[in-house]
Structure 1
């Protein structure tokens, strides 16, 4: 004899919340609504006589890179918060522009080296220069 089994009930579909939470790409922190504004990259002086700097606590990322000799400068990237004041702002260097371009950022500086001037004036980077 063959045993006849009753059909098994199908499990009820599980409802999933598929809402997508918006986050700031540089920090992963939650954002209210879509993040549709560019990163702003600001050159900041890091010389001991330039301290304390303004606005660094609001930066999403801060790079410290050797500029020349034993002097470093900071590249502060802002997207999730924008301080009222940032600085003191320093001159552009080509390697900082390359870092900034990796974020498709608006680059902010005050002056430039000859190499940085050539890069910025080539039109490949959007920038604001405090000298002009």
Structure 2
């Protein structure tokens, strides 16, 4: 789930994308424009492009978040309460979340020892399939 200036966006694998409980039925490269962001499809990704941030979602279990410096120390939180290493952050969660968080309610999960190796294996298998 993603929340930005009064707009709630639901990104759940194998379910329709919801913007304030309204399903997006057709998603193309032509941006759908909202007051503070646009949503469109680019290749295998959904892109939410807002002022000083970009969210990229693979329609599965990966979300890539790029945030401009304007939001540093102003984020409500980047939290993760998953239970599976393959759904974690690519970089160390401790390093990423502690720099940006302003609310101690967001706990920082500790990486498991095999996190990076598992993610490398997953990325390698996907890239091999794409290149073949």
Task: State whether TM-score is above 0.5.
Answer: no
TM-score (norm 2): 0.30
Larger Rg: 1
TM-score (norm 1): 0.30
Larger RCO: Structure 1 or Structure 2 (Cα < 8 Å, ≥ 6 residues apart)? 1
